[in-house]
Structure formats: structure tokens, C-alpha cells
Amino acid sequence: MTFEWKKAANAIGLASLLLLSACSGAKKEDGAATAATEAPKTEFNIGWSIYAGWMPWAYADKSGILKKWGDKYGIKINLIQVNDYVESLNQYTAGKLDGVGSTNMDALTIPAAGGKDTTALIMGDYSNGNDGIVLKGGTTVAAMKGRTVNLVELSVSHYLLARALEENGLKLSDVKTVNTSDADIVSAFTSPEVTAVAAWNPQLAEIKKAAGATEVFDSSKIPNEIQDLMTVSTATLKANPNLGKALVGAWYEVMGIMAKGDAQSKAAIAEMAKLSGTTTENYEAQLKTTYLYYKPADAVAYNMSAEIIKHEDAVRQFSFAKGLFGPNARSVDAIGIEFPNGKVLGDKANIRLRFDPSFMQMAADGKL
């Protein structure tokens, strides 16, 4: 599988992220808790990038399932593949896309921090081992103290490192980091001077094969903190609820196919592997370290729990500490994050990220 979207962090990604984050303060004056209004429309552009948890979108498009659900609600959904992940978020933030596949951290630090009111429509999955930390000459997180860690800085790898250290009584200040592109991370680990890396699959799988390599921490230790979502413009969703219904309907039809484990399921997974540029065996291995919420009721239950608030708080604390809310953000509460139980983390007058399980609830209730 190719992860072109991660390469953006080494070229324009980090610069774009910081540029967009810098806009957060400028939006404060119009930061009412309600989203701006938009005129209804019938055609929508949804962006996505190649990743294990987002391949069901490619299959939904290729199989005609997405079109079927769009037709049901009288709309047209154009699924647009953007090989540069950060660029897909930039396009969404700029209004060129109505929705985009995003991690929870990136939804917060790019569109939300850039002033774009965004709704997490679908809780698709969380990384359950797809991200990890590997050492040479060490078998515990404690052995990292004083080391230099190669990783894509300000990415989920950086977040994973922070959480690994925190879980083991250490701080980010106990290590040094070197920004290393995902394209170079595997070869970097072969260098004698590189003794610690944080990476994601498929690069992580290759790194773990190296002689003397030991994975000391992975994302399965922090379940539901590195999430993969389908996010949409709150204003667009408000004006066009049929978009939410069609996207959720298509997604869970594919989830149902994948969960059956029959011939149709195997054929669908093989097609997803092909569309991602890898083998079925490789893609199935990636699915094993991706916790997909196959049932909408399970995704809703998590959205309604106290756990989601705890997890998003950890993400926002890290993001603010690393300056990802922009230079105008004076505190971690600069950006409001809204949850379905009425709880808001941060500024209630500047809500820019909303977890709304109502459309998934419709799927769970069979009302789509």
C-alpha cells in the first residue's frame, strides 16, 4: 500500500498545517456556536486518501453503492482521491471539498484550527497497532530516555510518542526528535546512528523486520485515540442533511459486506487491496491492526460515552502544546469541541469541531 498522503508532511504538509492553524485567532470574532448557513445543493465533492480504513470509500464508489445511495436521496456525490493527504485537508478547509477523510487530530489542527466548522459524521475506525515505536538495543519505552527519535514531526507519530512517554512516566523533553519523511524512515532505521523511530504501516512492518529491532509501544495501547473519520462541513450538512444520510448509508452497506466473511466479503476486500495498490494478504494484515466500527450502534455508543471526551482532550492538549492551534491561541480552550451529550471542551462561543452520531444512529435504527 502506498501512503502518499503522509509524504505531504515532509514537503508542504507541515508548512500548510501551521499556516492554516495561524488563522484560528482571526476567526474568533465570528465564533458563534452555531454554524453559518448555506444554500441547499444537489452535487457534492468528497475527498479521500489511500489508507486501510478509508478503502471502503473507494469500494463504495467502484461498486456503485455510493451512487445508489446518492440516487436514493436525489443527490450526486463525487468521490475524489487526493494522493496528498494534507492537501486534501487544505482543499476541504478552503471550501473546494464538502467533506474529507481525516484523523481526529488533523480535523482539529487543520480545518477546525483554521476556522472551518467541521462535523465528524462517521467514526470509521481507530488505529489498533497500525502505528508503533521501534528501538534498537532496547526493549522498553524507558530505554528511550535520552535518545533521538526519528519520525514525521507534528503527525500522529509524534502524538503516539508523547502518549508512550506519558504512559511510562517520561516526557517529550526526555527525548529529542528528528523530522524524517515516511519515504525515508525505513532506510533511516538501517543507519547505525538511528536507534529509535516512530512510524505507521506499511513502513512499520518493514522496520520491525530489521535485525535487533523491538517494537516497544503501538497504538493498540491507546485505543480510540488515533481515529479515522469522515468529516464534513457543518454548514453544508445543516443545509443538506441528505448528504449525511447518503454517506452514512453507503458506508454501512460496505461495512455489512466486509463483516459477513463470505465470498462477497472476500471479493470486496480483494478489490480494496487492488484499489490501494497492494496485495490482498497485505491489506488483510493492515485490517487486523485497524479497529473498524462495523456496526453503527457501536460507533454511536462510543460517541455517546465519556471515553471520547477523555480521548479528544488528550489530543487537544498535545496539539496546543505543539503550537498547532496557531500563534493567536492563548490556551488549550481556544477551539471548542462539541459532543452529543452536551459537553463542550474549550470555547463554547468558538465551536469548530463537532462529533454528531445522529446519522449513524439512523443507520443503527434502520431509518435510512
Please, are residues 40 and 239 in contact by the beta-carbon 8 Å criterion?
yes
Asked if residue 278 has pLDDT above 60, the reply is yes
Asked if residue 55 has pLDDT above 60, the reply is yes
Q: Give the confidence band of 6 by pLDDT, cuts at 50, 70, 90.
A: very low
Q: In this structure, what C-alpha cell is assigned to residue 97? A: 471539498
Model confidence pLDDT, tens digit, residues 339-350: 998 899 999 999
Question: Across the chain, what does the average pLDDT equal?
Answer: 90
Asked if residue 103 has pLDDT above 80, the reply is yes
Give CA separation, 298 vs 7, 153, 305, in Å: 32, 32, 11
Mean of pLDDT values over 225-248: 97
- The residue extents of the domains of the chain are 4-126+225-364, 131-221
Q: What's residue 83's pLDDT?
A: 82
Q: What's residue 34's pLDDT?
A: 54
Same fold flag, 4-126+225-364 and 131-221: yes
- Angle of helix 263-276 relative to helix 280-288, nearest 10 degrees? 100
Q: What's residue 11's pLDDT?
A: 35
Q: Which CATH class is domain 4-126+225-364?
A: alpha beta
Mean of pLDDT values over 210-225: 96
Q: What's residue 356's pLDDT?
A: 98
pTM (two decimals): 0.85
Q: Give the confidence band of 27 by pLDDT, cuts at 50, 70, 90.
A: very low
Sign of the torsion angle spanned by Cα atoms 306, 307, 310, 311: negative
Mean of pLDDT values over 101-127: 96
CA distance 97 to 93: 8
* CATH number attached to the domain at 131-221: 3.40.190.10
